[in-house]
Amino acid sequence: MSNAEAMMAESATQKVVGLLSQPAQILKEISSKKEDGFLQVIHNEVVWRLHFCNGKLRYANSSFQTLKTLDYHLRCVGFNQFSAANRCLPQAGLMTHGETWLQLGPTSPLINWFCSQGYLNVPQSARLLENLTKEALETFLWLTEGHYQWIQEKTGSDNNVVFGPDLELEEVLVYFQERVQAWQKYSTLIKSPHQRPYLFSQGGSNTNSPDLLKLSKILRGMSIRQLALALNQDELKIAKFLSPFIQRGEVYLRDPQTTYQKLPTIPQIPSPIDSLRSNVKTFKIACVDDSPTILDEMHRFLNHEEYEVTKIDDPVKAAAVLFKLKPDLVLMDITMPEINGYKLCSLLRNSVALRETPIVMVTGRSGLVDKARARVTGATDYLVKPFTRGSLLAVVEKYLH
């Protein structure tokens, strides 16, 4: 049994168990029945708990919210000495391990301790709880599947409602629906707010933006969400700022850290174009280079439904793979061990299967002699390293559209 499954097996009065497919609809049903208790959901070993009193949402938390995440949220409410306070937690008998998820709620021992020590005042603690609730609730509403159970449990009537006494669940759902729509503006570039932006600097920085250079000095592996909290900005504002640099290949996004890889990604809403995709041709692109780093960059830049990318890092085996694959385009390095790009290109041109296939040499050599030699061996075009996403897409689209 996993840790998440063990959490779901805790003793309580279980009322409803089922499969989750429409999170918002389940919340509406709970609200309409005006009952007390909490909804517990598990997906991909992540657990969400949403607590209700008389059908009103009071607070929410999730197992991905650990003590390690609290520092960023504390900064957001104006507390910047978490490291010093953290050293006092063992003596206070509070949680000390980042693997233990935060136990939230108006009676949270952790939040109460910060208040009792004078680190937070009541408005700050309320805002902290609200921010953590919104963080958990947003990812919950992105779920498309999972298992849930409703646990009926009497909740104290004197607890404060997280979102305020006048904000109904319907308003909360509208708020997050608007955020989903805002996120989807960047969904072709950004899949999760937990992705980590890095400044692309192959052969030096290729950006002239002073704001981006200033931001790059504080990245240090932080995710978009962590950057937003550290800068006290909405993460959508960070995403909007980064998107043109990602589009041009000046910034690239690494996958979320292990803790966050199990969280749902930004949901995709089918558009009228989606119904036509079955009739859209998928182009096969083969990338041949002995450098895994370069291959990964090509794959990342060409990460589009229209392209099916095959990475080949062994030039000796490349010909056999290409003859079998029959790609629509070949991107090939020149300087490779045992068989260089010139020889491999000439070999492909002597075959009937790949005689007419566009072959683009991708290399750091930019001299006229090198370009002429590439043409003689049958290369269709030439792309000089370091390349950007824009320059790579330009040469690809030139021969596939």
Percent of the chain residues past pLDDT 90, beyond the cut = 18
Domain with residue 327: its CATH number is 3.40.50.2300
What confidence score (pLDDT) does residue 219 get? 76
Distance, CA of 103 to CA of 93 (rounded, Å): 14
272 assigned to some structural domain: no
Q: How far apart are CA 395 and CA 399, in angstroms?
A: 7
Residue 264 belongs to some domain of the structure: no
Does residue 177 sit in the same domain as residue 32?
yes
Same domain, 49 and 145: yes
Query: What's the pLDDT at 160?
Result: 44
Cβ atoms < 10 Å from Cβ of 41: 20
For the stretch 311-320, contacts whose Cβ atoms lie closer than 8 Å and that sit 24 or more positions apart, written own/partner, are 311/287, 312/286, 312/287, 312/288, 313/289, 314/290, 315/288, 315/290, 315/339, 315/340, 315/341, 315/344, 318/288, 318/344, 319/344, 319/347, 319/348
Question: Is residue 381 domain-resident?
Answer: yes
Same domain, 200 and 143: no
Q: In the structure, what pLDDT confidence band is assigned to residue 2 with cuts at 50, 70 and 90?
A: very low
Looking at the predicted structure, is the pLDDT value of residue 310 above 90?
A: yes
**Average pLDDT, whole number, for the chain?**
80
* 353-377: average pLDDT: 81
Number of domains in the chain: 3
Tokens of 33: 């029945």
* Ramachandran angles phi, psi of 78, nearest 5°: 100, 10
Residue 371 lies in a domain: yes
Instruction: Report yes or no on 154 lying in a domain.
Output: yes
- Is the pLDDT score of 363 beyond 90? no
Q: Is residue 40 part of a domain?
A: yes
* The last residue of a domain, from among 258, 289, 308: 258
Which pLDDT score, from 0 to 100, does residue 10 have?
44
Same domain? 97 vs 240: no
For the ranges 149-153, 263-267, 345-349, 362-366, the lowest mean pLDDT is seen at 362-366
Residue 157, SS3 per DSSP: coil
One domain, residues 297 and 390: yes
70 & 95 share domain: yes
- Identify whether the C-beta of residue 196 lies closer than 8 Å to the C-beta of residue 223: yes
Q: Is 75 in the same domain as 117?
A: yes
202 and 296 belong to one structural domain: no
Going by the DSSP 8-state scheme, the letter that residue 78 receives in this structure is T
Taking only the tens place, the pLDDT of each residue in 370-384 is: 777 878 888 899 888
Mean pLDDT score, 342-358? 87
User: At 221, which CATH number?
Assistant: 1.10.10
Helix (H) or strand (E) holding 13: strand 13-20
Domain boundary (151, 167, 183) is at 183
14 and 145 housed in the same domain? yes
Query: Which of residues 205 and 281 earns the better pLDDT score?
Result: 281
Final residue belonging to a domain, choices 149, 183, 217? 183
191 with 178, same domain: the answer is: no
Q: Is residue 271 part of a domain?
A: no
Asked whether residue 199 is domain-assigned, the answer is: yes
Residues contacting 48, CB < 8 A, separation 6+? 39, 40, 41, 42, 60, 61, 62, 63, 136, 139, 140
337 shares its domain with 217:
no
> Does 358 have pLDDT greater than 90?
yes
**What pLDDT is recorded for position 329?**
94
pLDDT digits (tens, 9 = 90+) for 227-272: 888 788 899 999 999 998 888 777 888 899 888 899 999 987 655 5
Cα–Cα distance, 3 to 143 (Å, whole number)? 20
Do 353 and 248 lie in one domain? The reply is no
Q: From CA 129, how far away is CA 106, in angstroms rounded?
A: 8
Domain with 193 in it: 187-258
